[in-house]
Amino acid sequence: MTRTLKTKVLVIGGGPGGYVTAIRAGQLGLDVTVVEADRLGGTCLIRGCIPSKALIHAAAKFDTIREAVGAGKLGISLACEPQLNLGETLRWKEGIVDRLSDGVAGLLRRAKVQVISGWARFSDGKSCVVETTAGPVTITAEHVVLAAGSEPVELPNLPFGGPIVSSTGALSFEQLPRRLAVVGAGYIGLELGSAFRKLGVEVTVVEAQDRILPLYDKQLVRPVARWLERAGVIVHLGAKVKSFESGTLAAEGKDGKLVEVNADAVLVTVGRRPRTQGWGLETMGVDMDGRFVRVDDRCRTSMKNVWAIGDLVGEPMLEHKAAAQGEMVAEIIAGHRRRFDPVAIPAVCFTEPEIVSVGMSQADAEAAGVEIIASQFPFAANGRALSMEAGDSGGFVRVLARKTDQRIVGIQAVGAHISELSGEFAVAMEMGATLADIAGVIHAHPTLSEAFFEASLGGLGHAIHI
């Protein structure tokens, strides 16, 4: 028999968009139900941000230990090669995932949110049926929040299966491949590709465009390109993948030349697409914006009281955007006046070294006709960077400020551990800081944050340490 359930707020998806919506709505005293087919935490916690950063960390540790073998470094040496027990590494990574997923379940319980496990299918805008282990449940709601997330894009000539894997497969390799071909030099390809290289895998990257990380400017990605070269990662640019047969990946390179890469596994990371199929979205009749669900600045869809957030509604497909939209939607449903209008959404790439970009790039400013002051401070002149062996990687912090009033309109940085400065950069942008505001704040010594302070001083024409 079908059980029926009525709720004020029905959230589809227990990823960072959905679970944050539900917790905030619960905190505000609303009656909330979340439907999640998989484990709580979504792409980010279960097979994305968290497990990938855990693997990146483990790989960096292994690489650092290996550097000490023989003559060693910094006066530290090891007599023998370190051993990798991949099974143990993966168990450690899964332990973190379990802890966070259980934590989300606990937070939802505390917010009195009802969680239904199963796949939701809609037949109209306000009701869905969920196939649970205890039978079907029909849920009707006053408000529906769509947070169905995204899935990896599959290339027709390289379908997932066997040795051809998406990020999900690569995060759970039972055995490390000896040779890995990575298709796509974007976020995932370079984050995971670099980690596998550090674990000793021979990595070759094949990218369709004529540069790696095409999202960022050339100067910003140069330190990453240098690291890849030094680490022995082969990068083929401007190459279009054709096939993978008998252990050989074939691509059409620049000038039509054939590129062949011998590989035991192929990691395809050519982007993600919103999950818009398989759950009845088409029956709801909401307007689309290309492949994404169209929403306004309150995350309202074209249908009354149907909201959509996160990866489902467009770029950037990032955890912190999904969560921020979810929190806002919960508050609007509870009667608050909110709009999604951030000055900037920080983007961080956890490559070697890391990249951060917040706000406008130089090209954005040029296109918008904004005259800017650009000021850059190198890691090579920052004591903390040098004392952490991060001074020679080509790292820097660049501040862009409007010429007319010196208000900061963009910040880009590359260097070891720079991800931890993304918060300070975002605060500066969101609070409308000028160069003088940052230059007027005493930054602790020795820290990497002094590079931001010095870049701001430089914009005013009087950097001290350069």
**Which residues of the chain form contacts with ligand NAD (CB under 6 A)?**
155, 183-189, 191, 206-209, 214, 240-241, 269-272, 316-318, 348-350
DSSP 290-318: TTEEP--TT-B-SSTTEEE-GGGG-S---
Q: Please state, in angstroms and rounded to a whole number, the distance separating the CA atoms of residues 406 and 438.
A: 11
Closest among 116, 161, 159, 170 to 141, alpha carbons compared:
116
- Out of 52, 194, 376, 449, the only residue in the binding site for ligand FAD (CB under 6 A) is 52
Q: Which of residues 262-291 bind ligand FAD (CB under 6 A)?
A: 275, 279
Residue with nearest beta carbon to ligand NAD? 186
Cα 184 from Cα 172, distance rounded (Å): 19
Site for ligand FAD in 160-189 (CB under 6 A): 167, 188
The gap from C-alpha 178 to its chain's centroid, in whole angstroms, comes to 27
| Number of amino acids touching ligand FAD (CB under 6 A) | 35
Query: Binding partner of residue 155 among ligand FAD, ligand NAD, none, CB under 5 to 8 Å per kind?
Result: ligand NAD
Q: Which is nearer to ligand FAD, 346 or 378 (CB)?
A: 346
Q: Which of 18, 189, 223, 359 binds ligand FAD (CB under 6 A)?
A: 18
Whether 445 sits among the annotated catalytic residues: the reply is yes
Nearest distance from C-beta of residue 371 to ligand FAD, angstroms:
32
Cα dihedral sign for 198, 203, 204, 205? Answer: negative
- Among the listed residues 443, 445, 462, 465, the single catalytic one is 445
Q: Which residue number, 195 or 349, has a Cβ lying nearer to ligand NAD? A: 349
Q: Nearest distance from residue 275's CB to ligand FAD, in Å? A: 5
Shortest approach of ligand NAD to residue 327 CB, angstroms?
Answer: 19
Instruction: Specify the DSSP class assigned to residue 352.
Output: S
Between strands 354-359 and 408-415, the pairing is: antiparallel
Pairing of strands 248-252, 258-262: antiparallel
Q: Is 434 in the site for ligand FAD (CB under 6 A)?
A: no
The token pair that represents 110 in the structure block: 């505390």
DSSP secondary structure letter of residue 25: H
127-132 and 135-146 strand pairing? antiparallel
Q: Is 42 in the site for ligand FAD (CB under 6 A)?
A: yes
Q: Applying CB under 6 A, which of residues 12, 233, 324, 418 lies at the interface with ligand FAD?
A: 12
Binding site for ligand FAD (CB under 6 A): 12-18, 35-38, 42-44, 48-49, 52, 119-120, 147-150, 167, 188, 275, 279, 310-312, 317-320, 322
The residues assigned a catalytic role are 445
